[in-house]
Amino acid sequence: MARYALEVNGQAVTVDVAADVPLLWVLRDVLGLTGTKYGCGIGQCGACTVHIDGVAQRACSLPVGGVRGAITTIEGLGGDHPLQRAWVEHDVPQCGYCQSGQIMSASALLRASPRADESEIRAGMRGNLCRCGTYPRILAAVASVVADG
C-alpha cells in the first residue's frame, strides 16, 4: 500500500491503495465517485472514460501509481456543459450506463476538434459502446454542439 496524491475535479485528495489499482476503482470505490463506470476492464468499451489534463483516457487501464496530471470525471464537467444540455435536448440516454463515458469522450474530442464532421465524430467516438443502441442520437447531440460553435 502507498499513498497517492491526486487532483480530482479540481480538488486535492490522497488515497491509500496498492500501486496497481486502476484509477477506475480508486474513483468508484475509494472516493465514491460512481459516475465513471466499469464496463469491461480492458479498455474495450469506454464506459470508464475520464480526462487527464483534458485528454480522454480509460481509467480501467490506468494504474493509480502511474497517474500524472489533473483528473476530470463526469462529475467535474459541471452539469451545464453544452454536451450535457444537448444530451437532454436530444433525449439521448436509454439505460444511461455508458453515457458518462460517451460524454467524456465527446468533450475531449470536441476540445481537440471543435469542428468535427460526422465521420470524424463516428471515428472519434468508436471506443464507446452503447448496448441500448442510442448511437444515432449521440451523433445528433454531438453534431448539434459542433453546429452551435
Residues of span 61-90 touching another protein by CB under 8 A: 73-75, 77, 79, 83-84, 87-89
- Residue 109 as a binder of another protein (CB under 8 A): the answer is no
Nearer to another protein, 17 or 146 (CB): 17
Q: Provide, rounded to whole angstroms, the least separation between the CB of residue 63 and another protein.
A: 10
- Residue 8 as a binder of another protein (CB under 8 A): the answer is no
Burial of 127 (0-12, 13-18, 19+ CB in 10 A): middle
Binding residues for another protein, rule CB under 8 A, total: 61
Provide the 10 A C-beta neighbour count for residue 94.
14
- Residue 139 as a binder of another protein (CB under 8 A): the answer is yes
Amino acid, single-letter form, for residue 87: W
- The dihedral over CA atoms of 43, 44, 45, 50, expressed in degrees to the nearest 10, equals 20
Residues of span 31-60 touching another protein by CB under 8 A: 32, 34-42, 44-45, 47
Alpha carbon 6 to its chain centroid, in Å, reads: 17
Give the residue from 102, 82, 88, 99 showing the smallest Cα distance to 147: 82
Classify the phi-psi angles of 46: left when phi > 0, otherwise alpha if psi is within -120 to 50, otherwise beta.
Answer: left
Q: Provide, rounded to whole angstroms, the least separation between the CB of residue 149 and another protein.
A: 20
Residues binding another protein (CB under 8 A):
1, 17-18, 20-22, 24-25, 28-30, 32, 34-42, 44-45, 47, 73-75, 77, 79, 83-84, 87-89, 91-100, 103, 122-123, 125-126, 128-139
